[in-house]
Chain A
Amino acid sequence: MAGEQSEAQLQIRFVTKQEKYAVPDSPYAIQSSVQSAELNNLVNAILKETAPTIEKAVVFDFLVCGELLCTTLAEHLQQKGVSTEETLDIEYLERFPAPTPQDCLMHDDWVAAVHTHNNWILSGSYDNSIHIWSTKGQHKLAIPGHTSPVKAVSWVSFNGDQAVFASGSHDQSAMLWVWNVPRNSVDCVVTCRGHEKGVECLSVSADANRFATGSWDNNICLWSTSLSDEDNVPAKKRSKPDHGNTREPLTTLKGHREAVSGVQWMDFNTVVSSGWDHLLKLWDCELGGIKQEIAGNKAFFDVDWSPVNNSLITASADRHIRLYDPRSTESIVKTTFTSHTGWVQSVRWSKTRDTLFLSGGYDNQVKLWETRSPKTPLYELSGHEDKVLCCDWSNPSLLISGSSDNTLRIFKSKHAVENA
């Protein structure tokens, strides 16, 4: 059979959307048993003739029938059920370069939350503290304040020397902090109290005016991020001496029947939330009502929304990552990505590339996915020795994941060429 395959020939034509790598539109006859490496050599050889300006060899990925070529061409076509008789269009694009491990930030306890903004990494830990790191791996601050594991952290804004960030914890509160960068001092400005149970997730809106928290009490609360709170807090609450001021939620979105595990802003007015009750809900923040509901069949652990391609990606209590399109009225999964061997706890879209996302699972793996290859991830970012609890790709060049082996691992991705 191998002999047969090696003998089988097929006609291909190379297509690309990246103009600088364009090759003549002439068909080539190749063996059907080739893999992407051989195709890569071929394209590079052609490029050398046609475009001598490109000096270094470029590594390409090949899209056949809308899916990334991972096996031999023959097997791929057989899976897709495509005839080998006709001329095949193979699209190629520059491969996303492999991320390289850059750093490993040691914590005292499990790392439950992480968020980056430009050069600063914010991490929340099970030892009730929040840590600020620089992207170079320098530990800036350890901030105690919460009385329970910090489950969610997020940068809110950078304003010159002053940086604002929010944190949510299982002590049923979310806190708004101000970090003075030059002085490296941090101050808890506002404590947000309103949840009956621990805060599980937190998300800041794009305009940085509000943030939403999801909690184990099945509610989502929307809070203001303003540091001065005269406008929206009753006077008697202000007298609490604890951690500065206490704040009450702007809106409470009630509707989930079980814990809210993930919350994300879709635009200035819409929040998407995932719950343990197998539901994804899209909320209208102005009205405080549900815009849309998508039902899954497993408890959701995390959700992320990409403004680049308007898709939702979810992690749930099984091995699969599911891609939903919120615009479709039926809650049909568009794609299921299966490679993890344990629960997937966290998923994050790339901020710049519409087809890439990151996932971290309980099988100690962080995986970089391409939406067009649902069976095989692009890269497996291994290194963690225990369950990966969180991951982050807010800084396009840094792939960060926190794990229950008390480490935060940073992978650096060389900025690949933007999609055409």
Chain B
Amino acid sequence: MPPFRTGLLKRKIDSKESKKVPEKNTSEDESGDSEEYDLIGGELNVEGDDTDSEHEDEKETGSDQEQDEVLFDDSADSALSGDEQVEYASDESSELTDSENDEDSDDGSAGEIDDEKEASDSVDSGAESANGKSKSQTKTNVQVQEVTAKTKQKQKVKLKNQKQKKTPYDDKQTHDSINRLASTIEKTSVTQPVEQKDEYESGDTSDEEERRNTVGDVPMWWYNEYQHVGYDLDGRRIMKPPQRDHIDDFLKKCEDPDFWRTVRDPTTGQDVVLSKEDLQLIQRLREGRVPNPEHDEYQPWIEWFSREVMATPLRAFPEHKRSFLPSRSEQLQISRIVHALKMGWTKTRKQLAEERRKRREKNFYNLWGSATSEEERAQRGIHKHIPAPKRPLPSHAESYNPPPEYLLDDKEMKEWNKLSETPWKRKYTFLPQRFGSLRAVPAYERFTRERFLRCLDLYLAPRAIKMRLTIKPEDLVPKLPSPRDLQPFPTSEALCFRGHTALVRSVDFDPSGQYIVSGSDDGTVKVWETSSGRCLRTVSLQEPVSRVSWLPTGALTLVAVAVGSRVLLLNPGARVGAHRAAQRTDELLQEPPPQGDVRMDERTAACVKWDEVSTEEWALGIRIAITHFKPVVHLCWHARGDYLCATVRDGGARAVVVHQVSRRRSQLPFARSKGLVQCALFHPTRPLLAVATQRAVRLYDLVRQQLVRKLLTGAQWISSMAMHPAGDNLLVGSYDRKCIWFDLELSSKPYQTLRLHGGAVRSVAFHRRYPLFASAGDDPYIVVSHGMVYNDLLQNPLLVPLKQLRGPAVRDELCALELRFHPEQPWLLAAGADATLRLYS
């Protein structure tokens, strides 16, 4: 084995030992340990300085000398040691094989230590003497030269190497340490000019420890085909160092004592010799220890942050706000848990334990218990349990020791025995008996049988719950406001107007409400003062008056009176107070309009005739007389007062006649009969005419001459009609006891049908200002109702019956024939069949 080989082996062993030794030493030998540390420390120093040496060059001053000396020393040492190894190897055995390395290792380690000590001693003297500068230079040069020389020699020496392996050149090697040193010095002097430039340049350009590759984290094999391995910080190519083949490696291995700790930096391609510290680091990492050797894992623990309050706290900053606030997320969690507990989804340990305990207990079925609670019944399959009817409690007679009065005496006994054939007629079902004590009471022989019968009763006569719906009568009545809140309305009779001698057919107020006109069957028309009930004027017309109607305009005083088939326009004002209006009326009516103006077609002329008034009649107050072909039953003034609509009984198509007073002419608006016309009314605001036949009300547009609407009342026979002053609602009274309210905007069907009367309804009336309407008929009561019509079209009228007023006395099954409201006051006037007028306020 060649000496370089053995040297290498030795190194290897060294490295192994250096790894092993500390472990051994810690356990075995402390003295050896200290030595080892020294050794390693020396080596590390050498290594560290070795790396530095390249850059810390001529500028170094005396302070660096020590390092340089050491450096030099090291290099010398390495050279010496190499020599010595060779010597040593040659001394011991040149034929050592790899297999013998283990045996050598022990000796070698000890020997080496000695060698190195010697070497250091020996070189110390030399190092002190030598000039640090030159030597460091030479040393570096030596290294570089070695490399360069080797590359040069590569090809040349290949063959030689073979020879060298075979032929040991001991002599040459022994001298080699000194010779090589000398040769290298020579070589450096020769080669330096070429090589040094680069060296300096690189050294000058950067302060860095090494040239840095800037290619980044890329696989280096990308540069396999190139001459360079990347770029330095200045963008210059970092050239690959000359490739070494195995022989070079081998040679280097042989020559370089640091080869074992030389690695190639793949980025720069430079060889890097690992320092002692690096090695130690690697070693510690491998052992899985803390890389820093100074770190003490077992240093005593000092508890800095304790609960004790320090006089000068380590941390002076205030507590965070968070530490004072309850945690929101915790709160959510807790609330979730609480909720779950409440709902029974989760159970506390206590509950769970309770449940377990219950489960463990023995559960007996309560055979004899009565199912009292609903749950128990459901358990037993009893649904909707109906308890059995209770038997009556035993009476005194059933006592074992009844009071003596309950015991049957002889007479009763006789009776008892007599009824033995018919025992159900007996007073008791048993015979009351007296026993001295309860003990003496014998067994009841019928007990079993009675029990059995009782069971049969319960079993065979099933009981059932009868669901009875209880509806109070009040619930069926619609919710209406209290009449007290709907005041004012007429509540009592205030005045009674007496004077007529027969039933009063018709009444009307004058537009201001000061006077009342009434027409009666006794053939008179009377004018009354409203406030006092004074009859101011009586006009005798001989024939029964069927209808009176005061002109609704205040400027003139004119009353239309229907007497038989005539309609008389009467001026009542002449002696009742309104002198000026009466005078005006007279002036207006005195002169008939020129005949040319009055034109009536033949059909009209055939049924209506405007008569001149005789002087006697004029003196009575009659101003105009219109004769119809049949009796007139109804009159209605238009709101403007010029037109008067008269309804003729059984008139057929000519039943409705419209008179125009100012021009003294008449019109027949209808060509065909639609039925038996009962009455006709003008609409208060629009040119509409409402005509009531027996069962329907038709609304005609007078301007366009067409039917607007047909209202189906549902009544058998209409008696009267009244139009709401706003004109959107119509009230119809019928002989079959109904009052029918129509909302003309709503529909042609009745809005509401009021059955308030016990007899035929003969008259209905609206108040002009207050939301009141009234109806009266053959029953002795007049019904006043609240009829609120809202301006809002969406709100339906509110109808509330308010008051039943005792009407006029009933005569010949007639009571009140016509109703009128005072135009301003909430007063109601009724024309009575008992020849009186009654004013209610």
Chain A residues within 8 Å of B, Cβ to Cβ? 110, 112, 126, 147-149, 170-172, 196-198, 216, 258-259, 261, 276-277, 297-299, 301, 317-318, 342-343, 345, 362, 387, 389, 404
Chain B residues, CB < 8 A from A362: 494-495
Chain B residues, CB < 8 A from A148: 575-577, 579
Q: How far is the CA of A148 from the CA of B488 in the complex (A)?
A: 33
Given A149-B534, A298-B488, A362-B495, A276 contacting B578 (CB threshold 8 A): no
Question: 25 pairs across A/B with beta carbons < 8 Å?
Answer: A110-B532, A110-B534, A112-B532, A147-B575, A148-B577, A149-B536, A172-B577, A196-B580, A197-B512, A197-B514, A198-B514, A216-B577, A258-B513, A259-B512, A259-B514, A276-B513, A276-B824, A277-B824, A297-B488, A298-B488, A317-B827, A318-B841, A345-B532, A389-B532, A404-B532
Contact indicator A342/B494 (Cβ below 8 Å): yes
Q: How far is the CA of A148 from the CA of B533 in the complex (A)?
A: 15
Instruction: Digitize B545-578: 1 where CB-to-A-CB distance is under 8 Å, 0 elsewhere.
Output: 0000000000000000000000000000001111
Which of B531, B579, B827 neighbours the largest number of chain A CB atoms within 10 Å of its CB? B531
Q: Nearest Cβ in chain A — how far from B272, in angstroms?
A: 115
Instruction: Digitize B511-528: 1 where CB-to-A-CB distance is under 8 Å, 0 elsewhere.
Output: 011100000000000000
Q: How far is the CA of A342 from the CA of B579 in the complex (A)?
A: 31
Contact indicator A343/B495 (Cβ below 8 Å): yes
Q: How far is the CA of A343 from the CA of B494 in the complex (A)?
A: 7
Contact indicator A126/B825 (Cβ below 8 Å): no
Chain B residues within 8 Å of A, Cβ to Cβ? 487-488, 494-495, 512-514, 531-534, 536, 575-580, 824-825, 827, 841
Taking a contact as CB atoms closer than 8 A, the residue among A149, A171, A258, A259 that contacts B579 in the complex is A171
Q: How far is the CA of A149 from the CA of B514 in the complex (A)?
A: 14
Taking a contact as CB atoms closer than 8 A, the residue among A216, A277, A298, A317 that contacts B514 in the complex is A216
Chain A residues, CB < 8 A from B534: 110, 126, 149, 404
Q: Nearest Cβ in chain A — how far from B494, in angstroms?
A: 5
Query: Closest A-chain residue to B514, C-beta based?
Result: A216
Given A112-B532, A198-B577, 5 additional A-B pairs, CB 8 A: A148-B577, A197-B578, A198-B514, A301-B531, A318-B841
Query: Closest B-chain residue to A199, C-beta based?
Result: B577
Contact indicator B494/A317 (Cβ below 8 Å): yes
Q: How far is the CA of A301 from the CA of B532 in the complex (A)?
A: 11
Q: How far is the CA of A148 from the CA of B536 in the complex (A)?
A: 9
Q: Nearest Cβ in chain B — how far from A365, in angstroms?
A: 15
Q: How far is the CA of A317 from the CA of B487 in the complex (A)?
A: 14
Q: How far is the CA of A197 from the CA of B577 in the complex (A)?
A: 7
Contact indicator A299/B577 (Cβ below 8 Å): no
Q: How far is the CA of A301 from the CA of B827 in the complex (A)?
A: 15
Chain B interface mostly: loop
Chain B residues, CB < 8 A from A277: 824
Q: Nearest Cβ in chain A — how far from B497, in angstroms?
A: 12
Q: Nearest Cβ in chain B — how far from A350, in angstroms?
A: 25
Q: How far is the CA of A119 from the CA of B536 in the complex (A)?
A: 32
Q: How far is the CA of A345 from the CA of B531 in the complex (A)?
A: 9
Q: How far is the CA of A82 from the CA of B495 in the complex (A)?
A: 41
Given A149-B534, A276-B825, A343 contacting B841 (CB threshold 8 A): yes
Chain B residues, CB < 8 A from A299: 825
Chain A residues, CB < 8 A from B532: 110, 112, 345, 387, 389, 404
Chain A residues, CB < 8 A from B513: 258, 276
Q: How far is the CA of A389 from the CA of B531 in the complex (A)?
A: 10
Q: How far is the CA of A112 from the CA of B531 in the complex (A)?
A: 12
Q: How far is the CA of A147 from the CA of B574 in the complex (A)?
A: 10
Q: How far is the CA of A112 from the CA of B534 in the complex (A)?
A: 11
Q: Nearest Cβ in chain B — how far from A208, in angstroms?
A: 28
Contact indicator A172/B580 (Cβ below 8 Å): yes
Query: Closest B-chain residue to A297, C-beta based?
Result: B488
Q: How far is the CA of A106 from the CA of B543 in the complex (A)?
A: 36
Chain A residues, CB < 8 A from B841: 317-318, 343
Which of A110, A112, A258, A404 neighbours the largest number of chain B CB atoms within 10 Å of its CB? A258
Q: Nearest Cβ in chain A — how far from B767, in angstroms?
A: 14
Query: Closest A-chain residue to B494, C-beta based?
Result: A343
Q: How far is the CA of A198 from the CA of B514 in the complex (A)?
A: 10
The list of the 8 closest CB pairs from A to B, nearest first, reads A170-B577, A198-B577, A317-B841, A148-B577, A299-B825, A343-B494, A216-B514, A258-B824
Chain A residues, CB < 8 A from B531: 261, 301, 345
Chain B residues, CB < 8 A from A112: 532
Chain B residues, CB < 8 A from A345: 531-532
Q: How far is the CA of A197 from the CA of B494 in the complex (A)?
A: 25
Which of B514, B575, B577 neighbours the largest number of chain A CB atoms within 10 Å of its CB? B577
Chain B residues, CB < 8 A from A149: 534, 536
Contact indicator B825/A171 (Cβ below 8 Å): no
Chain B residues, CB < 8 A from A342: 494
Q: How far is the CA of A197 from the CA of B557 in the complex (A)?
A: 12
Query: Closest A-chain residue to B491, C-beta based?
Result: A318
Q: How far is the CA of A149 from the CA of B825 in the complex (A)?
A: 23
Query: Closest B-chain residue to A343, C-beta based?
Result: B494
Q: Nearest Cβ in chain A — how far from B612, in angstroms?
A: 28
Q: How far is the CA of A171 from the CA of B575 in the complex (A)?
A: 8
Chain A residues, CB < 8 A from B514: 197-198, 216, 259
Chain B residues, CB < 8 A from A298: 488
Chain A residues, CB < 8 A from B827: 317
Q: Nearest Cβ in chain B — how far from A302, in angstroms?
A: 11
Q: Nearest Cβ in chain B — how far from A260, in angstroms?
A: 12
Chain B residues, CB < 8 A from A197: 512, 514, 577-578
Q: How far is the CA of A196 from the CA of B512 in the complex (A)?
A: 13
Q: How far is the CA of A404 from the CA of B514 in the complex (A)?
A: 18
Q: How far is the CA of A243 from the CA of B421 in the complex (A)?
A: 116
Q: How far is the CA of A197 from the CA of B576 in the complex (A)?
A: 10
Q: How far is the CA of A172 from the CA of B576 in the complex (A)?
A: 11
Q: How far is the CA of A126 from the CA of B575 in the complex (A)?
A: 12
Contact indicator B825/A317 (Cβ below 8 Å): yes
Chain A residues, CB < 8 A from B576: 148, 170
Q: Nearest Cβ in chain B — how far from A329, in angstroms?
A: 25
Q: How far is the CA of A234 from the CA of B487 in the complex (A)?
A: 50
Chain A residues, CB < 8 A from B579: 147-148, 171-172
Chain A residues, CB < 8 A from B512: 197, 216, 258-259
Q: Nearest Cβ in chain A — how far from B530, in angstroms?
A: 10
Chain A residues, CB < 8 A from B577: 148, 170-172, 197-198, 216
